[in-house]
Amino acid sequence: GEKVINETARYWLKKVDQYTAENRTTTMTEGIVLLGDSMSERFPVWEHFPGAKVANRGIGGDKVGGGKYYGVLDRITTTVAPLKPKKILLMIGVNDLCFVGTKPEELAGQYQGLVQELKRQCPGVEIVLQSVLPARNTFV
């Protein structure tokens, strides 16, 4: 189906292009990939794990994807799989709940599909599921 194009989607497309370009020139494989939304993107990897074999593939505003909103599912092939990760730290879902209004039961099914696709495209990967942070759909 057709994707929603808004400011978040434009930022997402720009970051996917950036990560895809980085993946073409990186020599880092079989490391750890941080995958998720702004909590992943903003995590100061090098401050906490200097010299570690970690690629940050977080994108602020990211969602599970695969539907009318861009998300992780739509970018595994270009931003994650080329790195042949040994481990993926996945934190995704809060934007689906808060900004898209996905019901928790529906999100659980989408999340399960995402994990299956990550395993399919990244054979042998260990996936660490990080909790979706408690949230409400207001900034007050």
The string of pLDDT tens digits covering residues 58-72 is 999 999 999 999 999
DSSP lists the bridge partners of residue 36 as 58, 91
Full-model pTM: 0.91
Distance (Å, rounded) from C-alpha 128 to C-alpha 32? 10
What pLDDT, on a 0 to 100 scale, did the predictor assign at position 123?
Answer: 96
Contact partners, residue 137, CB within 8 Å, separation at least 6:
97, 98, 99, 101
What pLDDT, on a 0 to 100 scale, did the predictor assign at position 51?
Answer: 86
The predicted-structure confidence for 114-130, as pLDDT tens digits, reads as follows 999 999 999 999 999 99
Question: In the predicted model, what is the mean pLDDT of residues 7-18?
Answer: 96
136: confidence class by pLDDT, cuts 50, 70, 90:
low
Q: Residue 140: is its pLDDT beyond 60?
A: no
CA atoms in the 13 A half-sphere facing the CB of 80: 31
Distance (Å, rounded) from C-alpha 74 to C-alpha 15? 13
What pLDDT, on a 0 to 100 scale, did the predictor assign at position 122?
Answer: 97
